[in-house]
Amino acid sequence: MKPTAPPPIDGVGASRVQLRPGDGDTLLDALCTRFPAIDRDTWRSRFARSRVLDAGSRTLAADAPLTVGGNVYYYREVTDEAVCPAVETLLHVDDEIAVVDKPHGLAVMPAGRFASDTLLARMIRRLGNGDIVPLHRIDRDTAGLVIFSLRAQTRDAYLALFRQRRIHKRYEAIAPPLPALAFPLVRESRIERGTPFHVMREVEGAANSCSRIDVVAREDGAWRYALEPVSGRKHQLRVHMAALGAPIFNDRLYGDASSDGPLKLLAARLAFEDPVVGGRRVFESGWSL
């Protein structure tokens, strides 16, 4: 049986670590061993504030003996975490899903420098539901639509929409003109993790990514593109546009690293047949590029 995590605190879910032989004599020793970047005083503070718990949501003591194979839950905290000033819009909520229009600059999930100010944490606080899970993700730098599952019992039915490619996703981007290419076109390539680790790149080999790309407006120096990802590789649309010779404006990873302003990429439209409630669902972002 999968261990049951304690409930979120202030929108932040508990992270789990399983204790191993050699981690130390006490829980404090073990956590310092497993997470050397976090100092002992920080862990002591978390123990004192009941931020280190067992599966029964009981507070653990820093000097408690280590139990090999035991699960310990803790709540991530980021010192001086940056807060995104923009506010998301809750477009739709029912018993099964919530559809949220995310602003640029807000991470969907906790990771790295972001813990308490993420779209997930905001929605947990806003809806008072610790079971919320995003069904998909978009980059922190990308604005637009994100669907959340509200109940574990029906979650897989919605996840199947993505696995089986039964959901239509349309993005919009502003990027340099590509007058030498005929549109619409399909870009297929193999995308793998590059260097540094958070940057993706195209490599030789069988394609594992596919995007449909068209032009919807042409202006001097800037075209508006409609992008439809058939697959869902990390940074796929950004990588494909850069590979075509038109990196999306303000893309500091795949274009001009010195550029300023929000990435000109928007998750603009989602459409699907609801597998639980029934009927056609169509959602459109209210953000503009």
Mean pLDDT along residues 15-25: 91
pLDDT score, position 122? 97
Strands 265-273 and 143-149: parallel
Q: Has residue 124 got a pLDDT over 90?
A: yes
pLDDT score, position 1? 56
Q: Has residue 127 got a pLDDT over 70?
A: yes
User: So where are the chain's domains?
Assistant: 15-74, 89-167, 170-266
Name the pLDDT band for 112 (thresholds 50, 70, 90): confident
Q: Has residue 223 got a pLDDT over 60?
A: yes
Sequential DSSP letters for the chain: -PPPPPPPBTTBPPEEEE--TTS-SBHHHHHHHH-TTS-HHHHHHHHHTT-EE-TTSPBPPTTSBP-TT-EEEE----TT-----S--EEEEE-SSEEEEEEPTT--SS-BTTBSSSSHHHHHHHHHT-TT-EESS---TT-EEEEEEE--HHHHHHHHHHHHTT-EEEEEEEEE---TTS-SSEEEEEEEEE-SSTT-EEEESSS--EEEEEEEEEEETTEEEEEEEESS--TTHHHHHHHHHT-PPTT-TTTS-TT--S--SEEEEEEEEE-TTT-SEEEEE-----
**Rounded distance between C-alpha atoms, residue 131 and residue 287, angstroms:** 27
Domains 15-74 and 89-167 share a fold: no
Looking at the domain that runs over 15-74, which CATH code has it been given? 3.10.290
Looking at the domain that runs over 170-266, which CATH code has it been given? 3.30.2350.10
Average pLDDT over all residues of the chain? 95
Span of 54-63, 98-107, 163-172, 264-273 with lowest mean pLDDT: 54-63
Query: 250-279, pLDDT tens digit by residue?
Result: 999 999 888 889 999 999 999 999 999 999
Q: Has residue 4 got a pLDDT over 80?
A: no
Q: Which two tokens stand for residue 224?
A: 């508006």
Q: Has residue 3 got a pLDDT over 80?
A: no
Query: 164-180, pLDDT tens digit by residue?
Result: 999 999 999 999 999 99
Name the pLDDT band for 68 (thresholds 50, 70, 90): confident
Name the pLDDT band for 211 (thresholds 50, 70, 90): very high
Of the candidates 172, 166, 169, 135, the one whose C-alpha atom is nearest the C-alpha of residue 151 is 135
Looking at the domain that runs over 89-167, which CATH code has it been given? 3.30.2350.10
pLDDT score, position 196? 87
Q: Has residue 106 got a pLDDT over 90?
A: yes
Question: Could you tell me the pTM of the whole model?
Answer: 0.90
